[in-house]
């Protein structure tokens, strides 16, 4: 039996098709990165999985239980961290955990035990007596993870858990997710593909309400193996961008101030011709390197952007 089985799931908002019949089956521990641009339908799908929204048609089963019909069993299996978790700012972290545990009908003794274990694991224990209103964004997300774990779920549904955080907060939350994925199946949506590339073991790409692929990350990186050339110039040079864009070996060029990155489909040709183009257009190279394609490059290829 698969942990998550999603069959022909659709969702329309006043006739607008946010999900157009997505199907996938996934199982086993690890982190499943659910990626897609803004508005692709990630939050809608996760809310349906968590039982917080109704599908227009199709169904989701978690460990064989139907999300719509078996809410009681589903609630025991999943922990959910919404995109923008709301807290009572006047409560302390410890009080918040007590409230969350009570909602699951746990005894006070049990909640205290779990709170200590989870707040320690999530790095909030020292701040447990402080008001949540004074927590940083990263601390709030880590408290949200502790809360999502209070019912000891097998599956954690995390909706953009790091998108709103600063680099330090992101790093800490991702480290925690890295640790949690050893004991839990983590289904995490994100549009920050660097984070997903680092943390996820399996990738699902959602685009305009359609699931374009569901694949182990290693298989995906192998299937789309390729190269990009990254270079830095002394000064910005738009004519180089134009000259490179017209080359058959250049699939895509990203330019930002003096940094450039070209995704290529013929590395040998690109290696021979790119330095000549730069020289012809009077560009001065300060850095030049060849690297493997990233998840972001693969994403653009898959969605044909
Ligand atoms: N309650 C709603 N009423 C009407 N349209 C909605 C509603 N919720 C979402 N939508 C629309 O459905 C589409 C999918 O939205 P959703 O929030 O699921 O996408 P997302 O991939 O999570 O995006 P983001 O990364 O921006 O959170 C969007 O076009 C959105 O505007």
CA of 205 to the centre of ligand 1 (A): 16
Encode pLDDT of 75-88 as tens digits: 999 999 998 889 99
84: DSSP letter:
S
- Closest C-alpha to ligand 1, atom 7: 13
ipTM of the complex: 0.96
Residue 165 has pLDDT above 90, yes or no: no
Confidence band, pLDDT 50/70/90 cuts, at residue 167: confident
- For ligand 1, the distance from its centroid to the CA atom of residue 298, given in whole angstroms, is 24
For a mutational test of ligand 1's pocket, the pick from 41, 163, 187, 191, i.e. the residue with the most ligand atoms closer than 8 A to its C-beta, is 41
pLDDT for res 225: 87
Q: Give yes or no for a contact between 206 and 191, defined as CB atoms under 8 angstroms apart.
A: no
Q: How confident is the model at residue 236 (pLDDT cuts 50, 70, 90)?
A: very high
What does the mean pLDDT of the chain come to? 94
- Please tell me if the CB atom of residue 40 comes closer than 6 angstroms to any atom of ligand 1: yes
Q: How many angstroms is it from 43 CA to the middle of ligand 1?
A: 7
Contact 270, 289 (CB under 8 A): no
Q: Whose CA is nearest to atom 17 of ligand 1?
A: 43
* Residue 1, pLDDT above cutoff 80: no
Which pLDDT belongs to residue 305? Answer: 65
Distance 162 CA to ligand 1 centre (A): 18
Residue ranges and CATH numbers for the domains of the chain are 4-215 (3.40.50.300), 225-304 (3.30.70.100)
Percent of the chain's residues with pLDDT above 70: 100
Across residues 235-247, what is the average pLDDT?
95
Cα–Cα distance between 153 and 78 in angstroms, integer? 5
* pTM, rounded to two decimals: 0.90
Pocket test for ligand 1, best of 11, 16, 18, 193 (most atoms within 8 A of CB): 18
pLDDT of 39 > 70? The answer is yes
Contact 187, 156 (CB under 8 A): yes
pLDDT in tens, 64-122: 999 999 999 999 999 999 988 899 999 999 999 999 999 999 999 999 999 999 999 99
The pLDDT tens digits of the residues spanning 173-229 come to 899 999 999 999 999 999 889 999 999 999 999 999 999 999 999 999 999 989 999
In ligand 1, which atom is closest to the CA atom of 44? 18
Give mean pLDDT, residues 147-160.
96
| Cβ 260 vs Cβ 240: under 8 Å | yes
**Mean pLDDT of the region 47-64:** 95
* Beta partners for residue 10, in sequence order: 20, 57
């Amino acid at each position: 039996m698969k942990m998550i089985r999603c069959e022909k799931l659709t969702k329309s908002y006043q006739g607008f098709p946010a999900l157009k019949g997505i199907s996938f089956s996934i199982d086993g521990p690890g982190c499943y990165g659910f990626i897609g641009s803004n508005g692709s339908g990630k939050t809608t799908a996760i809310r349906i999985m968590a039982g917080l929204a109704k599908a227009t048609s199709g169904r989701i089963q978690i460990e064989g239980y139907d999300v719509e019909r078996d809410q009681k069993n589903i609630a025991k299996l999943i922990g959910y961290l919404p995109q923008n978790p709301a807290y009572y700012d006047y409560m302390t972290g410890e009080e918040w955990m007590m409230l969350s545990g009570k909602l699951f009908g746990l005894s006070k003794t049990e909640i205290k035990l779990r709170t200590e274990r989870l707040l320690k694991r999530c790095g909030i224990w020292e701040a447990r007596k402080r008001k949540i209103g004074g927590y940083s964004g990263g601390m709030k997300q880590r408290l949200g993870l502790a809360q999502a774990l209070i019912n000891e779920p097998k599956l954690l549904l995390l909706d953009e858990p790091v998108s709103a955080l600063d680099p330090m907060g992101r790093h800490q939350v991702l480290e925690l997710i890295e640790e949690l994925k050893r004991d839990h199946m983590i289904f995490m949506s994100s549009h920050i593909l660097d984070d997903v590339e680092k943390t996820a073991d399996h990738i699902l790409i959602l685009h305009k309400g359609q699931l374009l692929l569901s694949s182990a990350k290693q298989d995906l990186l192998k299937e789309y193996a390729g190269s990009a050339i990254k270079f830095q110039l002394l000064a910005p040079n738009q004519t180089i961008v134009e000259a490179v864009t017209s080359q058959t070996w250049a699939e895509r060029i990203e330019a930002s101030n003096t940094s450039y990155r070209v995704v290529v489909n013929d590395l040998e040709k690109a290696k021979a011709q790119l330095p000549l183009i730069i020289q012809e257009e009077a560009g001065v190279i300060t850095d030049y390197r060849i690297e493997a394609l990233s998840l972001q490059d693969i994403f653009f290829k898959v969605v044909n952007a």
